[in-house]
Amino acid sequence: MASELIYRGHDAAHTPTSGGAGYTPKPEKRLLWFSRPLRYLIREQRLAFLLVGMALATLFFALAPSSSPSYYSSATAAELALRSAMELARFGEHHRHRAAFEAATSRGFVGGKVPLGIKRKGLRIVVTGGAGFVGSHLVDRLIARGDSVIVVDNFFTGRKENVMHHFGNPNFELIRHDVVEPLLLEVDQIYHLACPASPVHYKFNPVKTIISFSSSSLISSCCGLHKTNVVGTLNMLGLAKRVGARFLLTSTSEVYGDPLQHPQVETYWGNVNPIGVRSCYDEGKRTAETLTMDYHRGAQVEVRIARIFNTYGPRMCIDDGRVVSNFVAQALRKEPLTVYGDGKQTRSFQYVSDLVEGLMRLMEGEHVGPFNLGNPGEFTMLELANVVQETIDPNAKIEFRPNTEDDPHKRKPDITRAKELLGWEPKIPLRQGLPLMVSDFRKRIFGDHFDVNPSTTTTSTATGTGFS
């Protein structure tokens, strides 16, 4: 049987003992509330150890300042005051910059103009087609401004010599890449200039100029330019969307085709032959503008659109078929200047530095565009030939040939919008800029020897087609 313990204290208190008298238990002692902690401290000398620890801590803190190697102990009162003033100034400057940045962001200045009073921080910028004629001049300006520039070029029309003077600069990178293939970069701004702009190049390779979403077999069997305009623009817009960069598309006056309105304003929709020999370039650029605006409206990408009119200057391709380069190269080589048709077609010519200034103002501004960027000074082809004769060789002959297909009769920009919203207009007239281009062409054609016998020079391989 299991044992069991039962408390019977109540019954035991009333049970008589053998002696006959009742049992009374001893009353419990009541202790004061502080007696138990006090006994804990006294027991095992705990109080002594506590007092010794407090004394050591007091001694340490009392002696620490006098034995510390800190520079404040050896500094004079004036030095301490100067240090305090400098720290306070830096603190105040940081908060002023922060407040100015937040105010600018709240007004919408995310990637554009820098508020006054803040030193401009260099941007990381990619320039597609940056080794080309216009692109290389743009790169020069961006590098001079203090930006870090990445040039992306496949050297179809660009030349490494155009950017070689930046080799060794830590703010410059050169990537040999075709924009029809995706590219991953971290940048703040994208200048998209990659596309052959001369008739010789885009007529030689029309599909690469425009092709958009055809099958890979068609793309591989047909080289062309439409591919650059559409697929290349799509890739760069996708990059801008991913990294939050501002995107600038360099479109062209060719979107106006053979215009029925003169001069051309940005609201004019144009008169373009969609199946002509020039349509690969015209329609390719029109499609690129459409894609740019679709990304702006649908994906909130910050975009800018520039419509560039005829531009000339150093680093142009010598035999690219554009009228200014044709005339200059032919006059230097003592060849007849080839004029197509009756020579009464008109064009407007801007110097490359004026164009670069307009592109940079557009990128840094707050207006999407499109903006016409060109010189409103208008010349017939015969007038241009006369200016080239005056500049290079008054005895140069003019040779007339049949006109080319779909050649626009008139081309002149209305730049009112650029003047009002960008504060931009061209500064360099044709007669001032043309000698600078002639000097560059002379060096590249003849080297450093300007007294070359014309009979020993090679004949021009330019087709002379087109006046763009």
The dihedral over CA atoms of 468, 256, 208, 406, expressed in degrees to the nearest 10, equals: -60
Residue carrying the six token digits 């690969």: 280
Element (H, E) at 111: none
Q: What is the DSSP string of 260-295?
A: SSSSBPTT---B--TTSTTHHHHHHHHHHHHHHHHH
List, in sequence order, every residue forming a beta bridge with 378; answer none if it has no partner: 348
List, in sequence order, every residue forming a beta bridge with 192; answer none if it has no partner: 128, 249
Instruction: Tell me which residue of 320, 313, 317 sits closest to 353, measured CA to CA.
Output: 313
List, in sequence order, every residue forming a beta bridge with 340; answer none if it has no partner: 401
Instruction: Name the CA radius of gyration of the chain, rounded.
Output: 41
Phi, psi of 176 (to 5 degrees): -85, 110
Residue carrying the six token digits 């080297």: 447
The C-alpha atoms of residue 349 and residue 338 are separated, in whole angstroms, by: 18
The C-alpha atoms of residue 305 and residue 369 are separated, in whole angstroms, by: 5
The C-alpha atoms of residue 326 and residue 335 are separated, in whole angstroms, by: 10
Q: What is the DSSP string of 43-86?
A: GGGHHHHHHHHHHHHHHHHHHHHHH---HHHH--HHHHHHHHHH
Structure letter (DSSP) for residue 457:
S
Q: Is 374 left (phi over 0), alpha (psi -120 to 50) or beta?
A: beta
User: Hey, which residues are catalytic here?
Assistant: 281
Residue 392 neighbours by CB under 8 Å, 6+ apart? 328, 331, 332, 438
List, in sequence order, every residue forming a beta bridge with 209; answer none if it has no partner: 227
The C-alpha atoms of residue 136 and residue 117 are separated, in whole angstroms, by: 31
